[in-house]
Copies of this chain bind each other. A is one copy, B any other.
């Protein structure tokens, strides 16, 4: 298992405290986070950390394909610590994001557009209501 520092070095990214703490957090807490989420949770162990650094490095990690920015919520950016392509379900009531382990859409599905653009990533989002919220609303 590669450590955070090893991973940064292998990608030729300068090793700084912000980056190590951020990457450790992402490796230990697979999930979906806003910059603010992460910032708050890292402050305990690194009080001088700046929110701008969290943004900078989330963007940096995203450019390196280490994480993936999701476009699930309009109000704020959410990053997925798991960069592998996978579908999501988003609850319209509570806003929670669920990972779905589903096969990718085969290329033949959109073959008729293959002359018009080159697809590098596909994003599948199902929206609706999760079980938890459905139960609450029926009371």
Contact = CB atoms under 8 A, between A and B. Distances in A.
Copies of this chain: 2
B131 A116 contact: yes
How many of chain A's residues touch chain B, expressed as a range? Answer: 35 or more
B74 A72 contact: no
A121 B110 contact: no
A134 interface: yes
A8 to B, nearest CB: 25
A71 B103 CA distance: 22
B127 A122 contact: yes
Contacts of A110: 87, 100, 102, 126
A91 interface: yes
A130 B114 CA distance: 10
Interface of A: 69, 71-74, 77, 87, 89, 91-92, 98, 100, 102-103, 105, 109-110, 113, 115-131, 134
